[in-house]
Amino acid sequence: MTPIKAEPNAQVRLLDVQAIDTALAQLEHRRRTLPEHAEIARLEADRAALASSLVAADTAVSDLELEQAQAERDLQPVRDRLVRNQQRIAAGSVSDPTALAAMVEEVEHLKKRISDLEDAELEVMEQLETETSGREILRARAAALAETLAGLSAKRDTQLNELAADVAERRAERDQLTPELPPPLLALYTKLGVSHGGVGAAELRQGRCTGCQLDINAADLRVFRAAPADEVLRCEECSRILIRTPHSGL
């Protein structure tokens, strides 16, 4: 396989492109792993749970309100009848003693019935009060949660915008550099980057490949030393493009 040729300057430019690509990968990693993502997801789950608790609380409150209204409706005819009976007794309009006695007895019965219905209604009202204040607590919690979420979302968005601006800046720098590279070199670099964790090109530094961090053996170093400056070298160990610099130790 004929080695690719590229001017030494272009080869060094490739290291700059690699540095930008590494920075871009780090920016992407930061974008994906912002702590706010996990925090927001957790709070969204809390919000969903709270929303269904609120639905249940709304249902309980409205059921109890209906029950109280029904209790009031049940009481009204009994109260009316009591008042009517009491008026008739007070007016002396019942002359028959047996009928009067029955009416007096019914008055007592109606009073007892009213008292029982009122006790039942009171119990419903107490439950209603408990449910209503429980719902208020849930509503307050939901409002606080919504506020926390809004704050976190804003914080996340600010960071995402900053990261996006950094990415745009790096991409612009990269776009300035890549036209200086011979297309076959850039293509090889891109291909190697995909299979080598995003690092397709590495500096040969002090006799070592900075891609795989292995020392180049003496025989390969001799070959590298003899290679023309425009020949693109490859690491025998990791096959990455090896770039010579004044620090290569050749």
Contact positions toward Zn ion, by CB under 5 A? 209, 211-212, 235, 237-238
Q: Find out whether 241 and 234 touch, Cβ atoms under 8 Å.
A: yes
The phi, psi pair for 201, rounded to 5°, reads: -130, 140
Q: Find out whether 10 and 180 touch, Cβ atoms under 8 Å.
A: yes
Using alpha carbons only, give the angle 75, 77, 81 rounded to the nearest 5 degrees: 115
CA separation, residue 200 to residues 39, 173, 232 (Å): 35, 18, 13
Closer to Zn ion by Cβ: residue 231 or 237: 237
The least CB distance from residue 228 to Zn ion, in Å, is 21
Helix (H) or strand (E) holding 65: helix 35-91
The least CB distance from residue 23 to Zn ion, in Å, is 21
The least CB distance from residue 52 to Zn ion, in Å, is 56
Closer to Zn ion by Cβ: residue 76 or 217: 217
Q: For the chain, report the end-to-end CA distance as a whole number of angstroms.
A: 24
Q: Find out whether 149 and 43 touch, Cβ atoms under 8 Å.
A: yes
Closer to Zn ion by Cβ: residue 82 or 235: 235
The least CB distance from residue 5 to Zn ion, in Å, is 21
The least CB distance from residue 30 to Zn ion, in Å, is 27
The phi, psi pair for 203, rounded to 5°, reads: -75, 140
Closer to Zn ion by Cβ: residue 57 or 211: 211
Show Cβ contacts of residue 37 under 8 Å, excluding neighbours closer than 6 positions. 156
> What one-letter code names the amino acid at 215?
D
Could you tell me where the DSSP H helices lie in 8-34?
Answer: 8-32
Helix (H) or strand (E) holding 205: strand 201-205
Closer to Zn ion by Cβ: residue 6 or 204: 204
The least CB distance from residue 203 to Zn ion, in Å, is 11
Closer to Zn ion by Cβ: residue 17 or 204: 204
In whole angstroms, give the CA distance from residue 68 to residue 58: 15
Closer to Zn ion by Cβ: residue 57 or 235: 235
The least CB distance from residue 208 to Zn ion, in Å, is 8
